[in-house]
Amino acid sequence: MLNFFLADARDGLGPFLDGFLATRGWTPVTLGFIAMLGGILGMVATPLFGAMVDASRHKRLLIIVPVVLVNAGALWTLVSPDNLSVFGGQSATAIVGAIIGPALMGLTLGLVGEKKFPGQVASNEFWNHAGNVVSMAGTFGAILMFGERGVVVLMLITAVASIVAVLAIDPDEIDNDVARGLVPERDNDNGPSGFAVLFDNKGLIFLAVTLLIFHFGNAPITRLVAQNFSVQLGTPFRTTAITIGVAQLAMIVAALAAPMLIRRFGLASVFIIALAALPIRGAIAGTLTSFVSIFPVQILDGVGAGLIGIATPIAAERILSGTGRFNVGLAAVMTVQGIGASLSNAVAGWLTQIGGYSLAYWVHGGVAVLALLLFLATRTSIAPDSPISRVRGPKAPAESP
Candidates 44, 15, 1; CA nearest to 331 is 44
In angstroms, the CA 33 to CA 92 distance is: 15
**Residue 401 pLDDT class (50, 70, 90 cuts):** very low
More confident call, 166 vs 291:
166
Q: Is 172 exposed, middle or buried (0-12, 13-18, 19+ CB in 10 A)?
A: exposed
Q: Is 44 exposed, middle or buried (0-12, 13-18, 19+ CB in 10 A)?
A: middle
Task: Give the orientation angle of helix 202-233 with respect to helix 28-55, to 10 degrees.
Answer: 140
Q: Which residues, in sequence order, are CB contacts of 61 under 8 Å at separation 6+?
A: none
In three-state secondary structure terms, 116 is coil
Per-residue pLDDT tens digits for 153-202 = 777 888 888 899 999 999 889 888 888 877 665 554 555 555 566 677 88
Rounded mean pLDDT of the chain? 80
Q: Is 351 exposed, middle or buried (0-12, 13-18, 19+ CB in 10 A)?
A: buried
Residue 193 β-bridge partners: 395
Tell me which of 89-103, 146-160, 190-204 is least confident: 190-204
Per-residue pLDDT tens digits for 329-370 = 888 888 888 788 777 877 887 888 888 888 988 988 888 899
Residue 248: predicted pLDDT: 85
Q: Which residues, in sequence order, are CB contacts of 189 under 8 Å at separation 6+?
A: 395
What does R_g of the chain's alpha carbons equal in angstroms?
20
Cβ atoms of residues 136 and 244 within 8 Å? yes
φ, ψ of residue 186 to 5 degrees: the values are: -110, -30
In angstroms, the CA 268 to CA 196 distance is: 26
CB atoms inside a 10 Å sphere around CB 64 = 16
More confident call, 393 vs 192:
192
